[in-house]
Homo-oligomer: A and B are copies of this chain.
Amino acid sequence: MRLSSSPRFEQFGSVRIHQVQRVVELDAGRGRTSSSSSSCGTVAVGRHDLSAVESRMAVVVLCMNEQSHTVESVLSGIPHDCFVVLVSNTRRAPSDGYEAEVAHLLRHCADTGRRAVAIHQKDAGAARALREAGAGQLLDPDGLVRDGKGEAMFVGLALAAWAGCEYVGFVDADNYVPGAVLEYCKAFAAGLHLAGGGAGDAMVRVAWGSKPKARGGRLLFDRRGRCSRVVNEWLNRLLQELSGYGTECIATGNAGEHAMTMSLAKKLRLAGGFAVEPFELIYLLQGLEDGPTTDKAVGGGGEARLAPVHIRQIETRNPHLHDDKGDDHVSGMRCQALNMLYHSHITPPSMKTALREWMVAEKMLEAGEEPPRERVYPAMEDVDLEVLSRVLSEASETMVVSVQPPLPHEGCCCWS
């Protein structure tokens, strides 16, 4: 994969946010990774370097009530060497959609010699394992894992950590273009390689180039959803509050497709629902802590406590063509980011006031109302993965592990 080079970045404490890079070639040929001093303004990441990341990366596929045809198509787009973690919240009655998904996954693994694991978000054994491992906050009053995207990501991340993967990426299962899934995974690998290949903490966030919508009998390609624009604008405003300089550097506030080093993933605290992706950025800006004080917060202090966290943003080429689940509704929920921003201790009072007024004007709040607080879960490093693993294997009712006999060119090394 070849990307436009990204010589510019902005640094906030230990967080280094790189300017968006565009995908220039999906397949950069058989050459090696080009030196960054290349004069043509692009950088190619060679196949060997992509493979080195892919073979250590779990790709968590988040699944809810998709057509099984779509799930199969997404699987075909994930590079073979990645370890697949399917987390499903698909309904199980009257017909068992999860069972169909697992059947497709196992068929795919048998056909390809690939390794994968699947689990249902409402698995009672998984809930028990999470509770005993120290992540009881994930559970609802019925004692099962709550609904929500952040909650599904937490479960997927736990399985990826348990399997010993060094990188973890997230893709949605409702994608109609397997070539886009492949591009996301290659962008993850390219960005993680460029960010240091495992040395230090890094995250890659995808900004898709366009989103086709059927309007008036034809296809139009939108650049960015309205909520994405709003969330990016407010996040950039926060950066200006931190540094004093106006910026547009965040273009991936709501990035569903993103990946990171496991070392970073273990430190992050994930938020619930659709607040999860923007909150990763807010949490990093808070200085990898969620305490109420700001004296350790990042943003200009000379104290070099932490190795830099590289955030790479990559604009992909393929249209993001996904299941239309009623965009207005989802779009509103995706703006949960603003609630997180409002309640962050690094957001200055004047910005909180402006944000609340804006939300009232946009009818996202009643006048005088406070934005609701979203849930924030413990970091994976505070979860006892040994307990999680033991209880899961004893008690899980839905977990399915596909461990194929190694094929001549079996490459995944992350399953121990």
Contact = CB atoms under 8 A, between A and B. Distances in A.
Contacts of A234: none
B176 A179 contact: no
B23 A76 contact: yes
Interface in A206-240: 212, 214-215, 217-219, 221
A400 interface: no
Interface in A14-60: 23-32, 34-35, 38, 40-42, 44, 46-48, 51, 54-55
Interface of A: 2, 4, 23-32, 34-35, 38, 40-42, 44, 46-48, 51, 54-55, 73, 76-77, 79-81, 108, 110-114, 176-180, 182-183, 212, 214-215, 217-219, 221, 317-319, 321, 324, 407-411
Given A47-B47, A112-B42, A218-B324, A319 B30 contact: no
A218 B212 contact: no
Contacts of A48: 30
A51 B317 CA distance: 22
A112 B40 contact: yes
29 contacts: A4-B111, A23-B76, A24-B112, A25-B76, A29-B55, A29-B80, A29-B81, A29-B411, A30-B47, A30-B51, A30-B409, A30-B411, A31-B408, A31-B409, A32-B408, A34-B407, A34-B408, A35-B408, A41-B111, A42-B111, A42-B112, A44-B112, A77-B317, A176-B319, A179-B317, A179-B318, A182-B182, A219-B324, A321-B321
A411 B297 CA distance: 48
A76 to B, nearest CB: 5
Contacts of A38: 407
B176 A219 contact: yes
B178 A317 contact: yes
Instruction: Rank and list the top 4 A-B pairs by shortest CB-CB distance, nearest first.
Output: A31-B409, A179-B179, A29-B80, A214-B214
Contact of A44 (B28, B179, B321, B409): B409
Contacts of A409: 28-32, 34, 44, 46
B179 A183 contact: yes
Contacts of A324: 218-219
A174 to B, nearest CB: 12
A36 B278 CA distance: 47
A77 B40 CA distance: 19
Contacts of A54: 29
Given A26-B77, A214-B219, 18 more contacts: A25-B80, A25-B114, A26-B179, A29-B54, A29-B411, A30-B47, A31-B409, A31-B411, A34-B408, A35-B408, A42-B112, A44-B112, A176-B219, A177-B319, A178-B179, A178-B318, A215-B217, A218-B324
Nearest to A318: B179
A271 to B, nearest CB: 31
Given A26-B179, A212-B176, A214-B214, A410 B77 contact: no
A132 to B, nearest CB: 36
Contact of A73 (B30, B108, B317): B317
A212 to B, nearest CB: 7
Contacts of A179: 26, 77, 177-180, 182-183, 317-318
B410 A177 contact: no
Contacts of A2: 80, 111-112
Contacts of A47: 30, 47
A29 B57 CA distance: 13
Contacts of A217: 214-215
A221 to B, nearest CB: 8
Given A31-B408, A214-B214, A408-B35, A40 B317 contact: no
